[in-house]
A and B are shown apart, each in its own frame.
Chain A
Amino acid sequence: MRTLFKTMKLASLALLLGLSVSVTARAQNARIEMGQLDHLGAKASETVDVNIDERLMHLTAKFLSGKDPDEVKIKELVNGLKGIYVKSFEFERDGDYSQADIESIRLQLRSPAWSKILNVSSKKEGSVEVYLMSNAAQVGGLVVVATDLKELTIVNIVGPVDLEKLSQLEGQFGVPELGIERTKPKPKN
């Protein structure tokens, strides 16, 4: 009986340790789970799904030209990034996706590691939410949730992204035009 108790205690400790390691690992990882949205592909008239992992990011940074000014800009931008993941759905009818679908993303962004830095919504143009994960002084990643009555786009950038240059990523690496720069608050005089 004593052996059984000891074994259970050890097992509980191992479980707790495992859980805390897993929570820490998840907290440090800015990659969010988006696979739960795949079912929307069955209703969507257009679906785009882009997965650029760390290895591919390194490859891009390594082989972009250091001479071409445009490529230099992109190289600076993607240097250090660990991934870009995009899921975008366009629908024929309103309401083909539900609030629960968006909530499944927002729920992951409610942890203390994430903070919402931008929230712009309009009845005509839909809404754009930008979430940032920051560890101490460094940005760990970013999530953009762009919704419209007939459109849902999630962009997940993993790694130290430069917010000032974020709009330069639009139209590159599968990141759609989100109008992030246009929706930034104007500085006060």
Chain B
Amino acid sequence: MKRLLVPTLLLTLLWSARDSVAEAKGDDFGAVVKVVEEFYGVKHKGIPFLAKAGIKAATAAAHLAGGSKKRLAEAGSVKLAFFEDQEFSAKGGFSDFRATLKARLAGRWLPFIQVLSLNDEAQTYVFLRDAGPKYTVLVVTIEKHDATVVQVNLAPQTLAMLMQNPNDIGKAIMDDATTTDDQE
């Protein structure tokens, strides 16, 4: 039995890795991850295990009806890619990256909000797309040494609630996507 266990585990890991790569290649989420990789010459860590360490839940999540356990993202809709301890130099400004990103998503996504801070070397981009009864939100945050790309589906009422304070929407979604239930 033990002899079967190791190959089965390996096969499962390989299968899930294959799925993750295929998923990344087949949609705009994957395309955006690639834009970040190519523009900054970095590599992502696609498995969200690292993200689940110690990131507090967004206060916006707690404000939702249903209490602090209520999540923003629709179950099973979260896609995450992390870039850790890498160089995202903002010395040349943000214009080129911003233009590249916008061009990649043009026509399919609404560039909902962009907040760029040269002093903090931080960039936040939030794009929106109609997904039938729900909305898909794509958030890209880039700091000096770390970056995250997250895509989630939101119920319309959740989006409506978040839209009142669009400057915080990126952080709220990012925190929600990277927080496990037991951390709340």
Q: A and B from one assembly? A: yes
Determine the distance from Cα of A56 to Cα of B111 in the docked complex, in whole angstroms.
Answer: 12
Q: Which residues of B contact A49 (CB under 8 A)?
A: 111, 113-115
Within A111-128, which residues are at the interface with B (CB < 8 Å)? none
Contact A47 B159 (CB under 8 A): no
Asked if B167 contacts A47 (CB within 8 A), the reply is: no
Q: A36 in the interface, Cβ–Cβ < 8 Å?
A: no
Residues of B within 8 A of A50 (CB): 112-113, 166
Structural contact, B167 and A48, CB atoms closer than 8 A: yes
Given contacts A41-B116, A47-B116, is CB(A174)–CB(B156) below 8 Å? Answer: no
Q: Is A1 an interface residue (CB 8 A)?
A: no
| Chain B residues with a Cβ closer than 8 Å to the other chain, count | 26
- Please tell me which one of the listed residues B111, B113, B118, B130 contacts residue A44 in the complex, with CB atoms under 8 A apart: B118
Which of A41, A56, A63, A64 contacts B128, CB < 8 Å? Answer: A56
In the complex, what distance in Å separates the CA atom of A181 from the CA atom of B172? 30
B152: min CB distance to chain A, Å: 16
Residue of B nearest to A52 (CB): B163
A119-150: contact bitstring with B at CB < 8 Å (1 yes, 0 no)?
Answer: 00000000000000000000000000000000
Closest to A175 in B: B166
Give 1 or 0 for each of A75-86: 1 = CB within 8 Å of chain B CB: 000000000000
Q: Give the CA-CA distance A53 to B112 in the complex, in Å.
A: 9
Partner of A172, one of B93, B130, B165: B165
- Is A46 in contact with B117, judged by CB distance below 8 angstroms? yes
In Å, the complex CA distance between A121 and B59 comes to 38
A59 at the interface (CB under 8 A from B): yes
A60 near B117 (CB under 8 angstroms)?
Answer: no
Q: Once the chains bind, are B116 and A63 in contact (CB under 8 Å)? A: no
Query: Which residues of A are found within 8 Å of B94, using beta-carbon distances?
Result: 41-42, 47
The 9 closest A-B pairs by CB, nearest first: A63-B160, A47-B116, A63-B157, A49-B114, A42-B95, A42-B93, A174-B166, A45-B118, A60-B160
Can you sample 30 A-B contacts with CB below 8 Å? A41-B93, A41-B95, A41-B116, A42-B94, A43-B93, A45-B117, A45-B118, A47-B94, A48-B115, A50-B112, A50-B113, A50-B166, A51-B110, A51-B112, A52-B112, A52-B163, A55-B130, A56-B110, A56-B128, A56-B163, A59-B160, A60-B160, A60-B163, A62-B160, A63-B156, A63-B161, A74-B164, A172-B164, A173-B163, A174-B113
Q: Could you tell me which A residues sit within 8 Å of B by CB distance?
A: 38-39, 41-53, 55-56, 59-60, 62-64, 74, 172-174
